[in-house]
Chains A and B, each alone.
Chain A
Amino acid sequence: GQQVKQSSPSLTVQEGGISILNCDYENDMFDYFAWYKKYPDNSPTLLISVRSNVDKREDGRLTVFLNKSGKHFSLHITASQPEDTAVYLCAAGATGGNNKLTFGQGTVLSVIP
């Protein structure tokens, strides 16, 4: 089954608003979590990652929230810009898993002016 799930295939946000992207996981062994961004015809690039010993990590306009008991993590993008329009992929991995990441299905974020 799908161990990492992004239930929303798409999200549309007004420019300047907050984009909230969600991800759920099933494997209790996952202990680090990441968000990747992918433009069409480009390779995925890491945006931000967190380990399970923290509940929140901020980096500029990006914040990752981790809810371990709910097996859920999210990416918040404040002051969303049209250039944030892309596919966002969440991913999770387990220590000892040789950096093997399991990805979600992806959410297409569209930021409209």
Chain B
Amino acid sequence: EAAVTQSPRNKVAVTGGKVTLSCNQTNNHNNMYWYRQDTGHGLRLIHYSYGAGSTEKGDIPDGYKASRPSQENFSLILELATPSQTSVYFCASGGQRNTGQLYFGEGSKLTVL
């Protein structure tokens, strides 16, 4: 079973503050993803990575940066958090290619006041 863990699970931040969401996977998957979930929008892709050192923009990258320092770790960074970034963020890793199989973490609930 794939293991993807996120931290923190809950975070309250102030507008203009910096937020870092961390993700760790132990299955040696090359691909990792950050999605956000909002009512009426489902899951939307923010950034993804093909492997250590790579980051790519997803469908809604504005206001977010990503970092993949190693195979296991993939971070999402909000340099200047805004209330519109209040959401639940899911990290995922992908194993076998072109199967539709992603393994998701437990989610990180971010509230920006």
Interface residue ranges, A against B (CB under 8 Å): 6, 9, 31-34, 41-46, 49, 51, 89, 91, 93, 95, 98-106
List the B side residues contacting A6 at CB < 8 Å: 42
List the B side residues contacting A34 at CB < 8 Å: 100-101
Contact A99 B102 (CB under 8 A): yes
Closest to B43 in A: A103
Interface residue ranges, B against A (CB under 8 Å): 31, 33, 35, 40-45, 48, 50, 58-59, 90, 94, 97-102, 104-107
* Contact pick for A32, options B41, B100, B107, CB 8 Å: B100
* Contact pick for A99, options B42, B59, B97, CB 8 Å: B97
Contact B106 A43 (CB under 8 A): yes
List the B side residues contacting A103 at CB < 8 Å: 35, 42-44
| Bound Cα distance from A41 to B88, whole angstroms | 9
List the A side residues contacting B105 at CB < 8 Å: 43
Prevailing SS type, chain A contact patch: loop
| Bound Cα distance from A44 to B44, whole angstroms | 13
Contact A99 B98 (CB under 8 A): yes
Given contacts A43-B105, A51-B98, A102-B59, 9 further A-B contacts (CB under 8 A): A9-B40, A34-B100, A43-B90, A44-B104, A89-B42, A89-B43, A93-B98, A103-B35, A103-B43
| Bound Cα distance from A105 to B39, whole angstroms | 8
CB pairs A–B below 8 angstroms (5 shown): A34-B101, A42-B107, A91-B100, A98-B50, A100-B45
* Contact pick for A45, options B40, B48, B104, CB 8 Å: B104
List the A side residues contacting B101 at CB < 8 Å: 34, 46, 49, 99
Q: Quick one: which of A6, A49, A99, A102 has the most chain B CB within 10 A?
A: A99
